[in-house]
């Protein structure tokens, strides 16, 4: 079953039994639609330059303005990965991706002509320990790990540094779109300082605008990617939106974090005791913007025994006998005035 088929099945279950606890909503933008910054309809002629946005992004996330040449502007992480994968395919590079995080990674790789290698992150990340083969090699991670829900540990950072040190041909791709805080987490900064990590970020989650604007911060050894980004820029209206996000709507990510934390806490209180005790991580271990929660019970059992809708971990590509809960359904939204959710 793919995600589209699962969503149809989920809708059927909810129509047939509205009393089910819905922990399978995945659409962040629908859930937090009221928080999305709205474009200014009158702001259609102003020119915004990519270099200015790159410097604004660097300043927000604590990087030096001297890094502006290495801050490549895109339409988001998917767009950036598309450009990078196309370049890797022409260089006979080896690509590692997490096999249980985001099916789009595999789709993008194959669309570029790459058949990637896989590593697992559920129930615990297992960093590859392969020997170098002399070709360029790229390892894609997320920080925080999705859907595990936590940031990298120091031990995992050490394992990644060890993997990098085995060959000067090795590099990291760090998808940090789920890190809504500024500056980025200490583990991201530590890996970025190696000079061989490419940091990918966008306004997709923090400002709830997918496929609009992102920044890819490359290292000094990654100049081969510059022309691809330079030749495929966001549209002028997307650049104007990004300028507003980085200058006027600067607090939006913190509001999104607060909303997600509120929903998560409400979900925890509504879970049956057995399910709550079966969560892989305690709430104190989770990243602030977490809305995915792995649980060591199969989705079929959660539905049959606990009347709870969850996402089978296999939909993420995981070979792990558990499921993923989400806190995005309307039942977890704050109660508004008048008692409506």
**pLDDT by 10s per residue, the chain, length 341:** 788 899 999 999 999 999 999 999 999 999 999 999 988 877 777 899 999 999 999 999 999 999 999 999 999 999 999 999 999 999 989 999 999 988 899 999 999 999 999 999 999 999 999 999 989 999 999 999 999 999 999 999 999 999 999 999 999 999 999 999 999 999 999 999 999 999 999 999 999 999 999 999 999 999 999 999 999 999 999 999 999 999 999 999 999 999 999 999 999 999 999 999 999 999 889 999 999 999 999 999 999 999 999 999 999 999 999 999 999 999 999 877 544 44
- Domain ranges, ordered by start, for the chain: 3-35+252-332, 50-247
Tell me the backbone φ, ψ of residue 334, rounded to 5 degrees: -60, 150
Bridge partners, residue 199, by sequence: 174, 217
Calculate the CA dihedral of residues 235, 241, 242, 248 and round it to 10 degrees: 160
Q: Tell me which fold the domain 3-35+252-332 belongs to.
A: 3.90.1150
pTM of the predicted structure, to 2 decimals: 0.95
- CA within 13 Å, CB half, 319: 5
Q: Reduce the DSSP state of residue 142 to 3 states and report it.
A: strand
Helical pair 77-90 and 103-111, crossing angle rounded to 10 deg: 40
Contact 144, 181 (CB under 8 A): no
End-to-end Cα separation, the chain, in angstroms: 31
- Reading the block at residue 78, the tokens are 């998917």
Length of the chain: 341
50-247, which class in CATH?
Answer: alpha beta
Tell me, yes or no, if the two domains 3-35+252-332 and 50-247 fold the same way.
no
Separation CA 240–CA 44 (nearest Å): 8
Residue 194: how many CB atoms within 10 A of its CB? 15
């Amino acid at each position: 079953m793919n995600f589209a088929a699962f969503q149809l099945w989920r809708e059927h279950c909810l129509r047939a039994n509205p009393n089910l606890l819905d922990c399978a909503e995945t659409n962040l933008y629908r859930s937090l639609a009221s928080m999305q910054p709205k474009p200014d309809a009158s702001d259609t002629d102003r020119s915004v330059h990519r270099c200015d946005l790159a410097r604004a992004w660097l300043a927000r996330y604590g990087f030096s303005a001297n890094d502006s040449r290495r801050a490549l502007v895109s339409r988001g992480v998917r767009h950036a990965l598309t450009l990078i994968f196309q370049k890797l395919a022409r260089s006979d590079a080896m690509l590692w991706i997490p096999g249980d995080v985001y099916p789009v990674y595999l789709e993008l790789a194959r669309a570029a002509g790459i058949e990637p290698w896989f590593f697992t992150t559920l129930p615990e990340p297992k960093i590859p320990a392969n020997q170098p083969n002399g070709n360029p090699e790229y390892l894609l991670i997320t920080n925080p790990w999705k859907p595990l829900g936590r940031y990298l540990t120091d031990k995992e950072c050490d394992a990644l540094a060890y993997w990098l040190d085995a060959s000067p041909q090795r590099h990291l791709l760090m998808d940090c779109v789920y890190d809504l805080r500024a500056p980025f987490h200490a583990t991201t900064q530590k890996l970025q300082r190696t000079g061989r990590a490419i940091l990918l970020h966008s306004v997709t989650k923090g400002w709830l605008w997918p496929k609009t604007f992102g920044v890819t911060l490359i290292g000094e050894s990654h100049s081969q990617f510059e022309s691809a980004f330079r030749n495929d820029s966001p549209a002028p209206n997307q650049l104007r939106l990004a300028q507003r996000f980085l200058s006027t709507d600067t607090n939006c990510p913190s509001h999104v974090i607060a909303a997600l934390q509120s929903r998560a806490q409400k979900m925890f209180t509504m879970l049956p005791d057995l399910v709550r005790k079966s969560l892989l991580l305690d709430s104190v271990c989770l990243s602030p913007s977490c809305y995915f929660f792995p649980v060591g019970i199969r989705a079929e059992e959660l539905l049959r025994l606990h009347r709870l809708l969850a996402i089978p971990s296999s939909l993420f590509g995981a070979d792990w006998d558990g499921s993923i809960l989400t806190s995005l359904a309307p039942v977890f939204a704050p109660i508004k005035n008048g008692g409506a959710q």
